[in-house]
Amino acid sequence: MIKLDNVGRVFQVGDQDVPALDSVNLTVGRGEYVSIMGPSGSGKSTLLNIIGLLDRPSSGRYFLEDRDITALTDEEEAETRRNRIGFVFQFFHLVPRMTAAQNVELPMVLGGVPPKTRAERVAAALDAMGLSDRADHRPGQLSGGQRQRVAIARATVMQPAVLLADEPTGNLDRASGAEVVHVIERLVDSGITLVLVTHDPELGERARRRIRMVDGRVVEDSSGNPAGRP
Partner 1 sequence: MMRITDIFRFVRNAAGGYRVRTTLMLLAMAIGVASVVILTSLGEGARVYVNNEFASLGTNLLIVLPGRNETTGGPPMMVTGTSRDITTGDAMALLRHSSVRRVAPLTVGVAPVSWGGRTRECTIGGSTPDMLTIRRWKMAQGGFTAPDDPERAAPVAVIGAKIRRELFGSHSAVGEWLKIGDRRFRVTGILASEGRSMGFDVEELVLVPVASAQALFNTPSLFRVLVEAKSREAIERARADVVSTFKLRHQGEEDVTVITQDAVLATFDKILRALTLTVGGIAGISLGVAGILIMNVMLVAVSQRTSEIGLLKALGASRRRILGLFLTEAAMLSCVGGLLGLMLGYAGNRVVIWLYPAFPVTAPWWAVAAALGIALSAGLLFGAMPAWRAAKLDPVLALARR
Cβ atoms within 10 Å of 162's Cβ, excluding its own: 21
Of residues 98 and 178, the one with the C-beta less far from partner 1: 98
**Residues contacting 28, CB < 8 A, separation 6+:** 1, 2, 3, 34, 193, 195
Shortest distance (Å) from residue 196 CB to partner 1: 16
Which listed range, 23-31, 99-107, 175-183, 189-197, lies at the site for partner 1 (CB under 8 A)? 99-107
193: contact with partner 1 by CB under 8 A: no
- The residue from 74, 116, 189, 224 that contacts partner 1 (CB under 8 A) is 74
Query: Considering only CA atoms, which of 202, 197, 126, 133 is closest in space to residue 166?
Result: 197
Counting Cα atoms < 13 Å in the Cβ hemisphere of 225 gives 16
- The answer to whether residues 165 and 177 touch, using CB atoms and an 8 Å cutoff, is no
Residues 21-60 interacting with partner 1 (rule: CB under 8 A) = 49, 52, 54-55
Shortest distance (Å) from residue 159 CB to partner 1: 13
- The residue from 22, 77, 200, 215 that contacts partner 1 (CB under 8 A) is 77
97: contact with partner 1 by CB under 8 A: yes
Kindly tell me the sign of the dihedral angle through the C-alpha atoms of 48, 52, 100, 31. Answer: negative
- The residue from 65, 68, 91, 202 that contacts partner 1 (CB under 8 A) is 91
- The answer to whether residues 163 and 193 touch, using CB atoms and an 8 Å cutoff, is yes
**Residues contacting 15, CB < 8 A, separation 6+:** none
Binding pattern for the stretch 136-165 against partner 1, x by CB under 8 A and - elsewhere: ------------------x---x-------
Residues that bind partner 1 (CB under 8 A): 49, 52, 54-55, 74-75, 77-83, 87, 89, 91, 93, 95-98, 102, 106-107, 109-112, 154, 158
